[in-house]
Structure 1
Amino acid sequence: MSAAPEVRSSASRSALATAVAVALLDRLADAQSRGEVPQVGLTGGTIADELHRELARLSPESPVDWSRVVLWWGDERWAPAGDAYRNEVQAHEAFISEVGVDPANVHVVPASDAGLSLAEAALAYSETMREHGAGSFEVLMLGIGPDGHVASLFPGHPAAQVRDAIAVPVEDSPKPPPERVSLTFEAMEHSRAVWFVAAGADKAEAVARALSGPAEIGSPEAVECPARVPRGTVETIFWLDPDTTPS
């Protein structure tokens, strides 16, 4: 069973980043107070970078013990290790290196120069999640593309149809780079909370479609707008700035 989406709008883009950072820190602190080691799926992009910098700024005043948080990524650009194009490199620079996350708890998709093919990298990431995952994300962060894509599952792309897998190789992506690794929709379903974070007028139409109703994997609605598929088991929140908030 999935949670119906809730919209939380902020007064500005910067206020959005702060609001999500505060909410995430509160949620992680609550989970740790219950004795849990929360697992979080991160996303990339400009607004995610702003969010991550807010996490670094606010964490010193938070009770969150970042050494007891496990980090993953919903998708990754298949680029060499250390390449600034990779989502994990952006996150390391913005906050991971600042807040004391245990390196053993940071699980990245193998880089393109790791000696693996794209398919092997997706399989390796899947195996890592089977070994070190908790069975569900406390929070899975997702962005939304102007075309309605989520993670690296694009409208009409065969990767968005894959079942019985955790991660999938994405070839011929309509957005550069052409090669990526993405969690599947089925993997995303194992999330207590799914948080979409979107800012900018170019995302407004896609957000409206994503909020128009849930869609099953492989349905025409999901093919047209993949962001209609992921939902959390406990909560689904669309965190939006004024330009993306439905009127």
Structure 2
Amino acid sequence: MAAIAARLITKLVDVQDKHGEATVVLTGGTVGIGTLRAVAESAASPAVDWSRVNFWWGDERFVAANSGDRNTKQAREALLAHLPVDPDRVHEPGSSDEFESAEEAAADYAARLRAAAEAEHAADMSDDRPEEPASLPRFDVLLLGVGPDAHVASLFPEQAAIREKDRTVVGVENSPKPPPSRISLTLPAINTAQEIWMVVAGEDKAGAVGLALAGANPVQVPAAGPVGRSRTLWLIDENAASRVPQQLVRKDPAGA
């Protein structure tokens, strides 16, 4: 996790050098939150101007805001509470304290993403700026974990959310993993990210990783679906890589 954290710090510094600010989409789970904790503890962390980092989440559990199940709460405890972040740049999906349903919270999150994209578009003075703003801001790095069933974010195999092609955010009900109500970016939204980092550890994920890298159908194996615009990185440990053909494995000398 320390190696992934070091890689993330370096990436954010590079993006800020180019754009002045950086945007990262966070994930939950043991590896995702462990990586955030490692970022906070890293001696290199002050190299990033944390006041100019935008934070979004790939998915969230639709529960009370102070619930320990919330990815946002875990991220605050692991990282955000320890860094000089700008609260206005921390964009948490809505909770059950604010909305009646996950679908309402998803619509609100989509609207906030669209507003951020419009503001980004208005501030872009480059000659190659598109005529119309996108529905999503630029995601520089999007972190994703993978479940043993190959789900990513809250996109589970065979469910409606993994089949969604038009919306950027959906409400998820009857999740096979508790809690049952969730909010998630859709696969088309995820795939707008410049870089997608799949962070996975554990032998229980090996089957999912192997199927994903073998090119399975994302409807059955959602982990096969994410593809970053510039690159997709699989940052996995040896146990998670145990069912990946050796010709596809490149060991990182830093241990990521």
| Deviation, structure 1 residue 130 | 0.7
2:153 is aligned with 1:169: no
Query: Which residue among 71, 74, 78 is the counterpart of 1:87?
Result: 71
Query: Which residue among 21, 29, 36 is the counterpart of 1:52?
Result: 36
Structure 2 runs not aligned, ≥5 long:
121-136, 247-256
| Deviation, structure 1 residue 60 | 5.4
Contact 2:39/2:45 (CA < 8 Å) preserved in 1?
no
Match of 2:130 in 1: none
Match of 1:191 in 2: 193
| Alpha-carbon distance between aligned partners in 2 of 1:85 and 1:59, rounded to the nearest angstrom | 29
Match of 1:234 in 2: 230
| Alpha-carbon distance between aligned partners in 1 of 2:171 and 2:183, rounded to the nearest angstrom | 5
Match of 1:206 in 2: 208
Distance 1:181 1:59, change over 3 A: farther
Contact 1:25/1:59 (CA < 8 Å) preserved in 2?
no
Match of 1:3 in 2: none
Contact 2:99/2:105 (CA < 8 Å) preserved in 1?
no
Aligned length: 225
For residue 244 of structure 1, give the secondary structure of its aligned residue in structure 2.
coil
| Alpha-carbon distance between aligned partners in 1 of 2:192 and 2:62, rounded to the nearest angstrom | 24
Match of 1:69 in 2: 53
The two structures, once aligned, show a CA RMSD in angstroms of: 1.3
| Deviation, structure 1 residue 59 | 5.5
Query: Which residue among 76, 82, 89 is the counterpart of 1:105?
Result: 89
- Percent identity between matched residues is 43
| Alpha-carbon distance between aligned partners in 2 of 1:129 and 1:223, rounded to the nearest angstrom | 25
| Deviation, structure 1 residue 35 | 3.3
Q: Which stretches of structure 1, 4 residues or more, deviate above 4 A after TM superposition?
A: none
Match of 1:225 in 2: 221
Distance 1:59 1:136, change over 3 A: farther
Give the residue type in structure 2 aligned to 1:19: A
Match of 1:182 in 2: 184
TM-score normalised to structure 2 length: 0.85
For residue 195 of structure 1, give the secondary structure of its aligned residue in structure 2.
strand
Range with bigger deviation, 151-160 or 113-122: 113-122
Query: Which residue among 230, 240, 244 is the counterpart of 2:240?
Result: 244
Distance 1:129 1:50, change over 3 A: same
2:14 is aligned with 1:18: no
For residue 210 of structure 2, give the secondary structure of its aligned residue in structure 1.
helix
| Alpha-carbon distance between aligned partners in 2 of 1:39 and 1:185, rounded to the nearest angstrom | 18
| Deviation, structure 1 residue 36 | 3.0
Give the residue type in structure 2 aligned to 1:223: V
Contact 2:50/2:84 (CA < 8 Å) preserved in 1?
yes
Match of 2:249 in 1: none
Give the residue type in structure 1 aligned to 2:231: E
